[in-house]
Structure 1
Amino acid sequence: MQAQQGRRTRTPSLGGTSSIYSYASTTRTMSRSMKSLRVAWYKRPLVQDAFFTDIQTGAMLTAIFSMVVSLFTIATAILDMYCLGMTKPGVTHYGFYIMSFQFVYVGNNNVRNCLIVFALISAIAAMGLFVTACILMRALRKEIEKKMIPWLFAAGGFFAWRTFAIIFASIVNDMIFGYHISMCLLWVVFILFGIFGWVIVYSLYLELSDLTKLEDLAHLRMGTMSSLNMTQSIGGSRPTTPHSTVSTAQAV
C-alpha cells in the first residue's frame, strides 16, 4: 500500500514536469516566431514621404535631378579637362581671347594629372548615372522595384566619388576664384540632395518589395485553396472521416 501510495504521489509530479517542459518549448517557439517577424533596420523604409510631396513623386523628381546632375557633370568635366590641357607648359593655344585661364591649376604636374583623371572618371560615372536614371523613370512608371537597383548602386557610387573629388579639388585649387567657389558650393548642395534622393528611392524600393511579397503570398494561398477545392471535388462532396468509416464497418 505504501508503495502504491508513493507511486500515486509521484504521478502528478511527472505530469507537472511534462507540462512545464511543453510550456517552455511553446514559449521558445513563440519567441523564435517573433524574432522571425522582426525586420532589420536596413530593410525598413527610411522615410515615409519627401517632406513636400509623397514618396512616389519624390522618387520621380530624384530621377529627373539625377539626369540634370549627370549632364552638368559631363559638361564641367569636359571643361576642366580642356582647361587643364590648355594650361599645360609648352602647349600653344589661343584661348586667352575667349576666356581667362587664371583659375586653372598650374602647379605640380602630378596634381594636374590627378585633376584630369578625376574629371574623366566623373564624366564616365555621370554617363552611367544618366542611363540608370532613365531606367529608374521607367521602373517608377511601372512600379518594378528590381529595375531600381542599378540606379541605387550607380547613384551611391557617383555621389560618394564626387564627394571625394570635390574635397580634393577644393584643397589643391585656389579658392579665391569664383569658379572654384561656385563649384564647391554647388556640389555641396548636389551631394546633399543626392543623398536625400537616394534615401527616398531606397525607401520606395523597400515598400514595393514588401508589396510584391504580399502579392506572391496571396497568389500562393489562392493557388493552395483552389487545389484543395479541386481535391475535395474529385473525392466527392461528402468528406470521409474515420468516424464514418468505423460506423460503416459496424453497420456492415
Structure 2
Amino acid sequence: MSRSTRSVRIPWYQRPLLKNNQYIDIQKGAMLIGLFAIFLSLFTIASSIFDIYCYAMAAPGSTHYGYYIISYEFVYVGNKHVRNMLIVFALFSLIMALINFVTSVLLCVALRKEYERKVMPWLWTFAVFTVWRALALIFFAIVNDLYFAYNVIMVILWSIFCLFSIYGWAVVYSLFLELVDLTKLEDLAHLRMGTMASLHASTANSLAGSRPTTPHSTVSTMPVG
C-alpha cells in the first residue's frame, strides 16, 4: 500500500455503520428512528412516573385504606438498598427521557433540513439513555419477581426497545457521517469556485492594465515639419 493511500485512510469511527441498499433507506430510516425516539421518551416518562408512584404507595410499613384499582403485589418491597436503586433508576430514567424528548424533536427538524450539527446532541443523549435503560433492564429483571405479568411485560418490551434503539442509533449515526462528508464536499466546491473567480478577476485586471501596443509596433518619432 502506498504512502498516499495510508495517509487518507478513514478512521473506523468515521465510517458509516450502515449503507443504503435494497432493504435499508438510511434517510427515511433515520426519520422513523426520530419518531420512535419521541415515542420511547413519552413511554419512559409515563412508566417512570408510574414506577415511582408504585414504590411510594408500596413503601414498607405504609398503610392504605379504601378501594384501589390496582394491586401493588408486583412492586419490590425487599431489601431497602435494592428498593432505593430501583427508585434511582426510575427517577433518572424520567430525567433522561425528558432530555431525550427535546433532542428527538430537534433531530426530526435537523433531518428534515439536513443540519448535521444539530444531530449531534441526539447522538450523545440517546446513546447515554440507551445504555442507562439497558442497565436498568438488567437490574429490574434480576431483582423483581417475574411471576407477575407487569414485570414480564416490562422486561420483554424494554428488551425489544433496547435492541431497536441500538440499531436506530447506528442508522442515524451513519446518516450523520454522510451529511458531514456532503458538507465537506460542498465547502470544497465553494472554495474552488471562489478561487477560480478570484483568479479570473485578477487575470482580467492584469489584462486591462497592460499597454495596448506590442513591443514591435512602430511609432513615428520624426518631427512634423
- TM-score, normalisation: structure 2: 0.89
Change in Cα spacing, 1:51 to 1:128, as seen in structure 2 (3 Å) is: farther
**Unmatched runs of 5 consecutive residues or more in structure 1:** 1-29, 240-247
SS at match of 1:236: helix
Percent pairwise identity: 55
Q: Is the 1:50–1:58 Cα contact (8 Å) retained in structure 2?
A: no
Show the counterpart of 1:7: none
Summarize deviations over 1:192-248 as a string: whole Å, max 9, x none: 110011000000000000000000000000000111111111110799xxxxxxxx6
Greater relative contact order, per chain length (Cα 8 Å cut-off, separation 6+): 2
The answer to whether residue 178 in structure 2 is matched with residue 207 in structure 1 is yes
Deviation at 1:51, TM superposition (A): 6.7
Using the TM superposition, name which of 222-231 and 90-99 deviates more.
Answer: 90-99
**Aligned-CA RMSD value:** 2.3
Show the counterpart of 1:137: 108
Letter in 2 for 1:171: I
- Equivalent pairs counted in the alignment come to 214
Letter in 2 for 1:136: L
Show the counterpart of 1:20: none
Deviation at 1:41, TM superposition (A): 1.8
CA distance in 2, matches of 1:113, 1:226: 67
Matches within 5 A, 1:53-132: 53-94=24-65, 97-132=68-103
Deviation at 1:50, TM superposition (A): 7.8
Show the counterpart of 2:129: 158
Deviation at 1:32, TM superposition (A): 3.5
Deviation at 1:90, TM superposition (A): 2.6
The answer to whether residue 156 in structure 2 is matched with residue 198 in structure 1 is no
Using the TM superposition, name which of 202-211 and 37-46 deviates more.
Answer: 37-46
Summarize deviations over 1:9-30 as a string: whole Å, max 9, x none: xxxxxxxxxxxxxxxxxxxxx9
Deviation at 1:95, TM superposition (A): 7.1
Deviation at 1:33, TM superposition (A): 2.6
Using the TM superposition, name which of 89-98 and 134-143 deviates more.
Answer: 89-98
Letter in 2 for 1:209: V
- TM-score, normalisation: structure 1: 0.80
Q: Which has the higher helix share?
A: 1
Change in Cα spacing, 1:76 to 1:122, as seen in structure 2 (3 Å) is: same
Deviation at 1:98, TM superposition (A): 1.1
Change in Cα spacing, 1:50 to 1:126, as seen in structure 2 (3 Å) is: farther
Summarize deviations over 1:74-105 as a string: whole Å, max 9, x none: 11111111111111123233476311111010
Q: Which has the larger radius of gyration?
A: 1
